[in-house]
Structure 1
């Protein structure tokens, strides 16, 4: 097994936060592309395809990328990890698909709360079971409190947007899509961290993610194409194609950090980055109708507190101990 580089949490957590800021930027770019194409699914496919091209170039040009790619088939033949781990990118495709199908009905706020809740809860489970490359992580009181605080903080941060939501009962079924997508994201990070460790680099695990995600989205888009035909032609603005490279950053950094921080802390750091990135975008490049209020700022701050709480080693005697 290749040597696993351990990253200090004091370095790793800020990196996770920084990588998390790529998600709201990606959502903004892909949303604009979807409007121009009049097809959100096509926009997601374009985003994944551009990301795949970027990862192919990186894998071909960088020595570590070529070395990692050379380990791909041997790792599968020798069963260094379960072979279905190479399908982790399909989870990313499912996440984008769930966003495409529900964001118009739920709104960004409800979608974010559902996805974060799922991701945070399963982050605890994945760490406890030791599915990721960091091995088993004790289910301490502070880790549980940090996870609960994160969900509360995100709900608080988006509460101004939730106030205009229609009948909640009508949203229960659509909410299951982002909830399950968020739950699967924690498993995706664990799988990517494991495969990246055996390839010797997160570059290859990111490449394989984009291959799987692109295939899944292409199949779904092919069905849609047969039913409803093409949308609008591709636009000429270069910045509308940055969604794929931003996804490369998110997936690659996540695969790198999860082996040192574990799934939960990596997820919490990236969730904080998502909120901070959204806040910065709303201030610097506000979308039509967006307003920054105190609850958004304070909820984002509470998310950072939740990360600190989750890293504390304190555990109540006799409670939630590792057995």
Structure 2
């Protein structure tokens, strides 16, 4: 006799699961702009959270508070949506029932901690590195780790072996990161240990983002994008509150809340790229999503620095941006021609 399933409990299987193998070519083509937008949202959020941290004060506590404001505001908006949108509320309750029933591994709900680390790194590192260098370092960590996430089957689409097109795109992203680092060195008096350590923050954040996308994609199979996004913001906000408390052990000060309204929009952009990513990763896989998002990230980052801090840009910055785009388009072309 089959076991009865509660109507709010997400099913571990579906009749036609959406994966890169089952998604149509038309669907993949139509969703490319959404992946580019994800990358653009990441760059804009990096600018906002970096500026917010600078306006809040100095030291770790300013970056931590900026991250709490960004994640916390997103959590408030998502909570209102889940309460008002009954299907999302039912699926959220079903998600936690699925965890208790063993359909959803508990560790998959912790992806929000990686998102929290990324948002915290924005407040801590963007001011020193500039948006362009921050994003390219983020891209390097994201691209390399995405290869591993797909290769080991940590995402919703199962194992996807490392191939020449995938390696091509990831390697060019890393080369672009190195060139951007050299550009900062040429425009500064010296490359200090502090600069290197700061650049490591977005590198590690990018690695965590690829793992987060894989985890979120698997959760979304059971619960859909909105409950998955809400859970991310809940877990991330909790982690950031702990980080904020610990940050008061380090030097720094808070001077008050900045008056510019746009500095409080980081949560909206976070909602946009996390919710979109939970859908796109099921259609394209972690690496392909990451490569297209790279294009959106780097182009938006260069435009932002061109407007906000043109002194941060130099010849190698443009070469680095070009290489990331060549990596994305080249990887897609090689795949389309059947190169493995």
1:181-260 equivalences under 5 Å are 181-199=205-223, 201-225=224-248, 231-260=254-283
Other-structure match for 2:9: none
User: Contact 2:111/2:212 (CA < 8 Å) preserved in 1?
Assistant: yes
SS at match of 2:237: helix
Other-structure match for 2:6: none
2:42 aligned with 1:23, yes or no?
A: yes
Q: Could you tell me which of 27, 36, 48 is aligned with 2:55?
A: 36
Other-structure match for 1:303: 324
User: Contact 1:116/1:271 (CA < 8 Å) preserved in 2?
Assistant: yes
CA distance in 1, matches of 2:202, 2:236: 17
SS at match of 1:259: helix
User: Contact 2:35/2:289 (CA < 8 Å) preserved in 1?
Assistant: yes
Provide, for residues 14-44 of structure 1, a one-character-per-residue CA deviation record: whole Å limited to 9, x for no partner.
2111111011211221122212211222111
TM-score of the pair, normalised by structure 1: 0.86
Shift of residue 185 of structure 1? 1.4
Shift of residue 114 of structure 1? 3.2
2:71 aligned with 1:52, yes or no?
A: no
CA distance in 2, matches of 1:68, 1:139: 34
User: Contact 1:154/1:303 (CA < 8 Å) preserved in 2?
Assistant: no
Distance 1:299 1:170, change over 3 A: closer
Provide, for residues 51-83 of structure 1, a one-character-per-residue CA deviation record: whole Å limited to 9, x for no partner.
111111222233442232132212211222321
SS at match of 1:163: helix
The total of aligned residue pairs comes to: 314
User: Contact 2:130/2:312 (CA < 8 Å) preserved in 1?
Assistant: no
Structure 1 unaligned regions, length at least 5: none
TM-score of the pair, normalised by structure 2: 0.82
Distance 1:304 1:80, change over 3 A: farther
User: Contact 2:133/2:177 (CA < 8 Å) preserved in 1?
Assistant: no
Provide, for residues 205-241 of structure 1, a one-character-per-residue CA deviation record: whole Å limited to 9, x for no partner.
1111111111111111122346668613323432111
1:23-102 equivalences under 5 Å are 23-38=42-57, 39-102=62-125
CA distance in 2, matches of 1:282, 1:173: 21
Structure 2 unaligned regions, length at least 5: 1-12
Give the CA RMSD over aligned residues.
Answer: 2.7
Q: Could you tell me which of 277, 290, 294 is aligned with 2:300?
A: 277
